Structure 1
Amino acid sequence: MRLSAIVAAASNRVIGAGNQLPWRLSADLARFKRLTMGHTLVMGRKTYESIGRPLPGRHFVVITRQRDFAPAGVQVAHSVDEALALAKARGDDEVFIAGGADVYAQTMDRWTRLYLTRIDRDFPGDAFFPEVDLSGWRLIEEERHPEAELPFAFLTYER
């Protein structure tokens, strides 16, 4: 099972503000859908609540410390290890870590692929993507959009 992280981050590493994305980038949402369709998404409770519901065609595993958290249509785990065991048991060839900041930080040493949408602008926010040392990673895909209203790049790294 490949463990991949998928994230959109501003140049100052902001990934959220008030439990929402600080930008609207339809190309990123389309890429997220294309890459994650048919796969398992592992995320924290606050990230799940910002989405509001399970997305069609994907299996959700939500990590929370709240023992009474039980939304319909998702599996609930109470630790990263439990979440990854649930994801692995499904037999998925690729599982996506989809946030938030704490879940990224707790799993980053296990990722073998990183799908990064780099927003080429700073944003104010209260959730940050952890600093990732990319020295042991290879850039395997790069698609830049410098002329977009909000300049961005799709970057895929592998190790």
Structure 2
Amino acid sequence: MITFVWVEDQKKQIGLNGHLPWKLPGDLQHFRKLTSGHTIVMGRKTFTSLPKILPHRKHIVLSKNHELAQKYSKNQQVVILSSLKQLELWLANHQEQQIDVIGGNAVFKPLVHQVDRLEKTVIAATFKGDTIMTPIDYSKFKLVKKEYHNPNLQDKYPYEFLTYIRKEETK
């Protein structure tokens, strides 16, 4: 199963200069809970924005950067794939696994027609950003869970977690 996991602001912005333009500890805890024990798929910019290799997750990174591939060639937790074709083959051979795609658009966009589940956090605020989330046809998904969070001591902004599953296609 392929799941997209991301956070966006009111303008659907998901990044600024390769990083999240906000601090939202509650969402980071949610992300950890959702992705722990799974394989996470991302592009190079998302991978290099991580503070470290995330524990309890296998990292699949889409990148043509040979130095990055060399650096992680002996790391069992990181696999560097150099093309969308390689990623498609990898996904086809790992269909039984829970795959969480965490960004960016270079990975979201080509997989938008294959995604089974959406785990979206929406912040009730707007920020300066330079990256908008890949458009998703929500008519093909059903909202199955909505969880609202008020601002608190650790989270300055209100936000909500939204879970969608792909609707069964009728023939």
TM-score by length of 1: 0.91
| Partner SS, residue 47 of structure 1 | helix
The answer for the alignment partner of 1:123 in structure 2 is 127
Deviations 1:9-47 (A, max 9, x none): 111011111111111111110111111111100000010
Greater shift, 112-121 or 76-85, is seen at 76-85
Query: Of 82, 85, 89, which aligns to 2:86?
Result: 82
Whether the 8 Å contact between 1:45 and 1:63 is mirrored in structure 2 is yes
Identity level (%): 31
Whether the 8 Å contact between 1:10 and 1:119 is mirrored in structure 2 is yes
* Larger gyration radius, structure 1 or structure 2: 2
The answer for the alignment partner of 2:17 in structure 1 is 18
Whether the 8 Å contact between 1:61 and 1:87 is mirrored in structure 2 is no
Give the superposed CA RMSD.
1.7
1:29-108 aligned within 5 A: 29-70=28-69, 71-72=71-72, 73=75, 74-87=78-91, 89=93, 92-108=96-112
Query: What is the deviation of 1:53?
Result: 2.6
| Partner SS, residue 42 of structure 1 | strand
Distance across 1 between alignment mates of 2:96 and 2:54 = 17
Whether the 8 Å contact between 1:40 and 1:87 is mirrored in structure 2 is no
Distance across 2 between alignment mates of 1:157 and 1:58 = 22
Tell me the number of residue pairs that the alignment of Structure 1 and Structure 2 aligns: 158
Quickly say closer, same or farther: Cα 1:133–1:99, change in 2 above 3 A: same
Query: What is the deviation of 1:88?
Result: 5.3
Whether the 8 Å contact between 1:39 and 1:92 is mirrored in structure 2 is no
User: Which ranges in structure 1 are unaligned for 5 or more consecutive residues?
Assistant: none
